[in-house]
């Protein structure tokens, strides 16, 4: 494969035409592999012509001693999905009780669900866990119904024992 400079000045390598079949998708896909033996984790982007390409950042080019126009050997495979955080039992039960709550919970990003699940699970006292479940799900519904953010507001932060956000100084 030959490194190419994109019209935006970035170094890329276009993967073979079999990449769509190899990755099982025409969409963006998280990949891991090797470029000239250097192990990398990155994202393969679709080209629009049934192929994928990968950006090669300057750091990798420096490490490999290559630049646009250089020939490189590449091999990539689809990365395993990230490890899922298990939802606490109390959260799973509460989600199953109400359809709107379930829709609101599943509409959150996986990162937001992971952070919330971890926060709930860290509570040792069952009463505190139940309160945290209620708090998280009410904020999820608020966000789902577009009545406010999922993250705690300043007023909620004080009840959660969290410091207030500082105003940005200029």
**Can you give 62-79 as a three-state secondary structure string?**
HHHCCCCCCECCEEEEEC
Q: Which pLDDT does position 167 carry in this prediction?
A: 57
CB 53 within 8 A of CB 16: no
If pLDDT is split at 50, 70 and 90, which confidence band does 170 have? low
- As separate numbers, helices (DSSP H) first and strands (DSSP E) second, the chain gives 7, 6
> What value, to the nearest 5°, has the Cα angle with vertex 45 and ends 23 and 64?
95
Distance of CA 44 to the CA centre of its chain: 15
| Residue whose structure tokens are 């999820």 | 140
Between CA 157 and CA 118 the distance in angstroms is 17
CB 64 within 8 A of CB 36: yes
Domains in the chain with CATH codes: 3-78 (2.40.30.100), 89-159 (no CATH)
Closest CA to 106 of 120, 92, 127, 119: 92
Q: What's the pLDDT tens digit per position in 122-142?
A: 999 999 999 999 999 999 999
Q: Average pLDDT in the 67-77 region?
A: 93
Using CB atoms within 10 Å of the CB of residue 135, give its burial: 0 to 12 exposed, 13 to 18 middle, 19+ buried.
middle
Q: What's the pLDDT tens digit per position in 80-91?
A: 877 677 889 999
Between CA 92 and CA 126 the distance in angstroms is 14
- The DSSP secondary-structure symbol of 6 reads -
Rg, Å, the chain Cα set: 23
Q: Which pLDDT does position 48 carry in this prediction?
A: 86
Q: Average pLDDT in the 44-51 region?
A: 90
Q: What's the pLDDT tens digit per position in 26-45?
A: 899 999 999 999 999 999 99
Q: Does residue 163 have a pLDDT over 60? A: no
């Amino acid at each position: 494969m030959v490194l190419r400079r994109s019209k935006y000045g970035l170094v890329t390598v276009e993967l073979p035409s079999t990449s769509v079949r190899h990755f099982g998708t025409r969409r963006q896909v998280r990949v891991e592999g090797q470029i000239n033996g250097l192990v990398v984790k990155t994202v393969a982007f679709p080209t629009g012509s049934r192929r994928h390409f990968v950006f090669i950042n300057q750091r990798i080019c420096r490490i490999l001693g290559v630049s646009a126009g250089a020939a490189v050997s590449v091999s990539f495979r689809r990365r395993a999905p990230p490890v899922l955080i298990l939802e606490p039992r109390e959260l799973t039960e509460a989600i199953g009780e109400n359809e709107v709550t379930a829709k609101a919970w599943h509409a959150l990003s996986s990162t937001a669900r992971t952070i919330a699940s971890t926060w709930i699970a860290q509570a040792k006292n069952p009463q505190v866990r139940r309160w945290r479940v209620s708090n998280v799900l009410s904020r999820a519904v608020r966000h789902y119904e577009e009545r406010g953010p999922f993250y705690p507001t300043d007023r909620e932060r004080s009840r959660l024992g969290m410091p207030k956000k500082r105003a940005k100084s200029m």
